[in-house]
Amino acid sequence: MPANIYKNKAGEAVPGVTTVIGRNLGWGKDALMHWANKMGLEGKNHRDVSGAAADTGTITHKMVELEIQGIKFEWPKLGQDMGANAKQIKQAENAFEGFVDWKQAFKFELLQSEHLLISERYQYGGQLDIAAIQGKRAIIDIKTSNNIYPAHVIQIAAYKNLWDENFPGQPIETCYILRLSKDKDEGFSYHNYRDVSNAFRAFVILRELHDLEKKL
């Protein structure tokens, strides 16, 4: 799936949240190198494996988006049309089942889904998975990764700022990360972050580094 193109009010391109974090956050790089080495020892190309995981996440996000919007889709045809292989289709199906279980357990009033926003103050853009009311106004970010990492918390803090900047009269009161497992036996896990101020401070630093790199 092509990356979103974000532009500010002046029509100038600005980086997306995941680009800022991915290019400038070095945390966890040792673990990533260890994983890539492990894949090599097993005779696998780490780029192929990571790409497959990303594709599974993309398909899952699409299924969730259609479900939230009440749009019916044919499965596995949707996955096939998106170029997924049999393994990716099965993993996405498992993750989607986790979302259905979560949706039944946690009722919410939808505010926005897959909403693109721009921060004029910090000059970046992002696409929010879900903004909803679950007792409080909340941002809900969906992940299909094996774990929750600090980068994910920084990401949702950046999304919170996007919403708060664009809807100052309706600030986000809490944040969630919904992890949907690709393993049928695991289902979902739901993580609440009431205070993401430090995570947003980290994002602001990463945003500054993103521009500083071009000046070196």
Would you say 210 and 119 are in contact if contact means Cβ atoms under 8 Å apart?
Answer: no
Domain, as residue range, for 93 = 25-215
Q: How many domains does the chain have?
A: 1
5 within a domain of the structure (yes/no) = no
The answer to whether residue 96 is domain-embedded is yes
pTM for the full predicted model: 0.88
> Based on the number of CB atoms within 10 Å of its own CB, is 100 exposed (0-12), middle (13-18) or buried (19 or more)?
middle
Whether 120 is in a domain gets the answer yes
Q: Tell me the pLDDT tens digit for each residue of 59-94.
A: 999 999 999 999 999 999 999 999 999 999 999 999
Q: Which long-range contacts (CB under 8 A, 24 or more apart) does 95-98 make?
A: 95/56, 95/60, 95/144, 95/180, 95/181, 95/182, 96/60, 96/63, 96/64, 96/67, 96/180, 97/184, 97/187, 98/180, 98/181, 98/186, 98/187, 98/188
Q: What tens digit of pLDDT does each residue of 13-72 get? A: 999 999 999 999 988 655 545 545 554 665 655 445 444 445 899 999 999 999 999 999
Instruction: Answer whether residue 2 is part of any domain.
Output: no
Collapsed DSSP state (helix, strand, coil) of residue 70: coil
Burial 168-192 (b: 16+ CB within 10 A, else e): eeeebebbbbbbbbbeeeebbeeee
> What CATH number has the domain bearing residue 197?
3.40.1350.10
Q: How much is the pLDDT for 181?
A: 96
Distance CA 164, CA 2 (A): 27
| Number of alpha helices (DSSP H) and beta strands (DSSP E) in the chain | 7, 7
Nearest 5°: the CA angle 66, 118, 106 is 40
Does some domain include residue 31? yes
Q: What mean pLDDT do residues 121-126 have?
A: 98
pLDDT bucket at 166, cuts 50 / 70 / 90: very high
Q: Is residue 72 part of a domain?
A: yes
Does some domain include residue 85?
yes
Q: Determine, yes or no, domain membership for 154.
A: yes
